[in-house]
Structure 1
Amino acid sequence: MASTILRKFYQQSIRCIQNVTSVPIKTVSSFYSTDVEPKQNKLTSPVNSWNEWDPLEEIIVGTPEYATVPHLLPEVKTCAASAKHNFYIQNGGKYWADVIPKEHWQLLCKQVEDFVKMLELEGIKVVRPDPVDHRKSYKLLDFETQGFYAAMPRDFLLIVGDEIIEATMTWRSRYFEYLAYRPLALNYWKQGAKWTIGPKPTNFSKLIRDEPINVGLSDEHNPDYGKVTTESEPCFDAADFIRAGRDIFAQRSQVTNLSGIEWVRRHLEPRGIKVHRLSFVDPRPMHIDATFTLVKPGIAIQNPDRPCHQVDFIRKAGWQVINAPQPLMKKDHEMWLGSNWLSMNVLMLDQNRVIVESEETGIQEMYKSIGIKPINVKFKYANSIGGGFHCWTCDIRRQSKLESYFDWSKGEIPRI
């Protein structure tokens, strides 16, 4: 009896196995593709900008609202002109609007709004960061700080193709600047953009020296000379990087260390993008736009007072490097942060048009000589708190694609 039952069970098992193995392959694969495989993300990124010159479609323009004077901490002391140190000592933690001449502040705000209107008349979509009260104090880790401003999105946001990279920010007063831009970044991400946040500094007592070391010595071969930042952890501001498709150039500055450049290099390397470090004759470098700019394929502009040590490599790669004319800003015009070389800080609408300060006739003529039409916009009052047209903006979308613009067959820039 038992043997009969076992024989029937064996026969039924064989039939079950035969039935399962006879199921058509496509039926099994159809089952998995319908119910198991994730759906493809069909979102198209609203963010797309690979260089500084393709036709501009969308841009962030900063806001001066609630801008606050930073305290004269070592990182501010090193970057600000010594003649302005007392201004920061006396006014640190106060609103800029309350401590600079009222008429100057009103003209500053008007010039920013007029700039926005001009961009919109060109058919460019303009978005603005959220107003944040930068006088508010924040306490984190080993420091407590008030804010600075959300006037210069260029300093904080590095756009590489369809990706937004948030810089670490090195001034303690700018640590929480991301709060003004976070809603914008989140919205772009929801629409399909990539979004990466650089590693925030965790120990400013190690990252920031009390004083720069070896001030006055050339940093061509020792990038620490004259710098207030150490290499204890990565730090970088986005404004120390300029883009040219598959090549991005960066400088070691008071706010960007070698570790910060290396972090960006490793992050972008899998995408086929090279990050090259440039160095300049500059005693207190902070942000690259008033030192070296790329305005169209084959044309770079450099500050003749801060020449680039690697300029021969740029020229061998097929680029013309032109010295910018001396700025024409009057010496009695107040500049609490930055220098008159903000004349170089321009915004390319496309390869054939550039926005420049209306009184800087020298650089206007230079652009005309290389076939680029200058669009003159009043902005010298907006310059006064640390930025020109490029600094006050972040180009979110251009009619742009990833291309190579440098021929390195005659030798790449050495890793320095």
Structure 2
Amino acid sequence: MRLNSYDDFTPLKEIVVGTADGYVDRILDLSFDMFISDNVSGTRGYYPSISTWRDSAERRDRNTPHRLALKERFLSELVEDVEGIAAALTSLGVTVHRPMAIDPDLRRVTTPAWDAAVAPPLNVRDITLVLGDELIETPPTLRNRYFETHFLKPVFMDYFRQGARWSVMPRPLMTDASFDPGNDNAAPNIEVPDNPQPSPYDTGLEPLIDAANCLRLGRDLVVNISNENHALACDWLERHLEGRLRVHRMHKLTQSHIDSVVVPLRPGTLLLRSPEVADFLPKALRTWDVIVPPAPTVDDYPQYENGDPIPPSPYIDLNVLSVDEETVMVNDACKTLVATLEARGFTVVPVRHRHRRLFGGGFHCYTLDTVRTGGAENYLD
């Protein structure tokens, strides 16, 4: 089919599901420090921040034989669960596309300004924005994801041959000086960069944004702006989409991604992390019906003995995937969320996803819907 995806809730026909194959370890550099900052709720959750963990005994002991054996087990279970997500979507009649495999010998990549480990294309939602008949590769906010869209090229080429537009936002140099360190510009609780260094390639702040900062609603695109990097990227989107889509700026709802904070389940209904989220939304969205499930507790997640920092929000299980306006894929461990949605008339498809907080990402993160039946509808007027 031709590329066509304007929203997250009309009937789903085709989707890309990421892969966890080749996942080695979490990157630890300035770009990671900046990314894991917590959200506007003012709490860091149930796990230590990167600055606390950086000098801890847990970090020094993280590669003991026992720890490595645990990591191998968790990675194996992550691969199993991602494959289960793909199988569940196929069983629902959705055509599933997959990224190309990463050569096992490809461990690091190098640019003129830095080098980094290679991340597998797992959270494919983050790095590509699908707007109608256009693929837009976004400038990544983590260095180890810089070339991640390369592993999606065969899928993108197929859609391009069928008539899709294909754009790439400006590729950043991503030196330490590229990142907005916060101050008065960024969302609260931003992590302090660890010893940023000058580079001969410094150009100052650059456009940096993940597609998961954006909410797609037919002819409207809502963009969460939490720092100057996001604002510059939004400038590009506004100019690029002028005359085709309307871009709305939403300020400092979270430090970055919003798809575990505000989720449109169908026209007129939003799934929200908390009632306060509505205060940040465009005025037209504040009139929609709201579903707010009970807040998660520490007992709702697997516990890990190694004390590693956990980047995702404790609300990661709100990262659901709608198959259509009545059917929602939800983590099978989230009994309260399942009951909440069923009570509101939704059909829930429970699917296993065990280590969502350890490795990051939910069903929406791990997928990129490329064909839905909806069009450039006007949901905000």
TM-score of the superposition, structure 2-length normalised? 0.82
| 8 A contact 2:321–2:363 mirrored in 1 | yes
Question: Which residue number corresponds to residue 290 of structure 2?
Answer: 321
Q: Residue 55 and residue 90 in structure 1: after superposition, are their counterparts in 2 closer, same or farther (change >3 A)?
A: farther
Q: How many pairs were matched up?
A: 348
In structure 1, how many angstroms separate the alpha carbons of the residues matched to 2:228 and 2:367? 19
Give the secondary-structure state (helix, strand or coil) at the position aligned to 1:309. helix
- Indicate which of 248, 251, 256 corresponds to 1:276: 248
Cα deviation for residue 79 of structure 1 reads: 3.2
Question: Which residue number corresponds to residue 153 of structure 2?
Answer: 182
| 8 A contact 1:327–1:362 mirrored in 2 | no
In structure 2, how many angstroms separate the alpha carbons of the residues matched to 1:196 and 1:312? 27
Cα deviation for residue 399 of structure 1 reads: 1.3
Cα deviation for residue 347 of structure 1 reads: 0.2
What are the ranges of 5 or more consecutive residues in structure 2 without an aligned counterpart?
37-46, 194-202
- Indicate which of 60, 66, 87 corresponds to 1:117: 87
In structure 2, how many angstroms separate the alpha carbons of the residues matched to 1:99 and 1:169? 31
Cα deviation for residue 142 of structure 1 reads: 1.5
Question: Which residue number corresponds to residue 257 of structure 2?
Answer: 287
What are the ranges of 5 or more consecutive residues in structure 1 without an aligned counterpart?
1-44, 408-416
Question: Which residue number corresponds to residue 144 of structure 1?
Answer: 115
Give the secondary-structure state (helix, strand or coil) at the position aligned to 1:114. helix
Q: Residue 111 and residue 79 in structure 1: after superposition, are their counterparts in 2 closer, same or farther (change >3 A)?
A: same
Whether 2:209 is the aligned partner of 1:236: answer yes
Give the secondary-structure state (helix, strand or coil) at the position aligned to 1:264. helix
| 8 A contact 2:293–2:340 mirrored in 1 | yes
Give the secondary-structure state (helix, strand or coil) at the position aligned to 2:221. strand
Whether 2:28 is the aligned partner of 1:72: answer yes
In structure 2, how many angstroms separate the alpha carbons of the residues matched to 1:262 and 1:100? 44
Question: Which residue number corresponds to residue 376 of structure 2?
Answer: 402
In structure 2, how many angstroms separate the alpha carbons of the residues matched to 1:252 and 1:204? 21
Give the secondary-structure state (helix, strand or coil) at the position aligned to 1:101. helix
Cα deviation for residue 113 of structure 1 reads: 1.2
Q: Residue 91 and residue 259 in structure 1: after superposition, are their counterparts in 2 closer, same or farther (change >3 A)?
A: farther
Superposition map of 1:194-205 within 5 A: 194-205=165-176
Q: Quick one: which amino acid aligns to residue 149 of structure 1?
A: P
Cα deviation for residue 372 of structure 1 reads: 1.4
Whether 2:41 is the aligned partner of 1:59: answer no
Q: Residue 256 and residue 243 in structure 1: after superposition, are their counterparts in 2 closer, same or farther (change >3 A)?
A: farther
- Indicate which of 124, 138, 142 corresponds to 1:171: 142
Give the secondary-structure state (helix, strand or coil) at the position aligned to 1:129. coil
| 8 A contact 1:240–1:256 mirrored in 2 | no
Give the secondary-structure state (helix, strand or coil) at the position aligned to 1:366. helix
Q: Residue 385 and residue 277 in structure 1: after superposition, are their counterparts in 2 closer, same or farther (change >3 A)?
A: same
Superposition map of 1:261-410 within 5 A: 261-271=234-244, 273-280=245-252, 282=254, 285-304=255-274, 307-311=277-281, 313-315=283-285, 318-327=287-296, 330-334=300-304, 336-407=310-381
Bigger shift: residues 71-80 or 354-363: 71-80
Q: Quick one: which amino acid aligns to residue 319 of structure 1?
A: W
Cα deviation for residue 115 of structure 1 reads: 1.5
Q: Residue 92 and residue 276 in structure 1: after superposition, are their counterparts in 2 closer, same or farther (change >3 A)?
A: farther
Cα deviation for residue 365 of structure 1 reads: 2.1
Offset from partner CA, 1:223-250 (integer Å, 9 cap, x none) = 4665579972211111111101011111
Q: Quick one: which amino acid aligns to residue 325 of structure 2?
A: Q
Q: Quick one: which amino acid aligns to residue 263 of structure 2?
A: T
| 8 A contact 2:179–2:229 mirrored in 1 | no
In structure 2, how many angstroms separate the alpha carbons of the residues matched to 1:370 and 1:231? 48
Offset from partner CA, 1:189-228 (integer Å, 9 cap, x none) = 122111111111025232125xx334xxxx7xx4466557
Q: Residue 92 and residue 294 in structure 1: after superposition, are their counterparts in 2 closer, same or farther (change >3 A)?
A: farther
| 8 A contact 2:253–2:280 mirrored in 1 | no
- Per chain length, whose mean CA-contact separation is higher, i.e. which structure has more relative contact order (CA < 8 Å, sep 6+)? 2
In structure 2, how many angstroms separate the alpha carbons of the residues matched to 1:276 and 1:231? 25
Q: Quick one: which amino acid aligns to residue 175 of structure 1?
A: Y
Q: Residue 368 and residue 198 in structure 1: after superposition, are their counterparts in 2 closer, same or farther (change >3 A)?
A: same
| 8 A contact 1:158–1:166 mirrored in 2 | yes
The structure with the greater share of residues assigned to helix is 1
Question: Which residue number corresponds to residue 102 of structure 1?
Answer: 72
Q: Residue 179 and residue 57 in structure 1: after superposition, are their counterparts in 2 closer, same or farther (change >3 A)?
A: same
In structure 1, how many angstroms separate the alpha carbons of the residues matched to 2:136 and 2:253? 28
Q: Quick one: which amino acid aligns to residue 184 of structure 1?
A: V
In structure 2, how many angstroms separate the alpha carbons of the residues matched to 1:79 and 1:100? 25
Q: Residue 255 and residue 186 in structure 1: after superposition, are their counterparts in 2 closer, same or farther (change >3 A)?
A: farther
Offset from partner CA, 1:339-394 (integer Å, 9 cap, x none) = 32111000000000000011212221221233211111111225531100000000
Bigger shift: residues 108-117 or 322-331: 322-331
Offset from partner CA, 1:281-316 (integer Å, 9 cap, x none) = 54xx23111111111101112212863433471455
Q: Quick one: which amino acid aligns to residue 140 of structure 2?
A: M
Offset from partner CA, 1:171-196 (integer Å, 9 cap, x none) = 11111112211222122212211111
Whether 2:129 is the aligned partner of 1:129: answer no
Question: Which residue number corresponds to residue 257 of structure 1?
Answer: 230
Whether 2:164 is the aligned partner of 1:193: answer yes
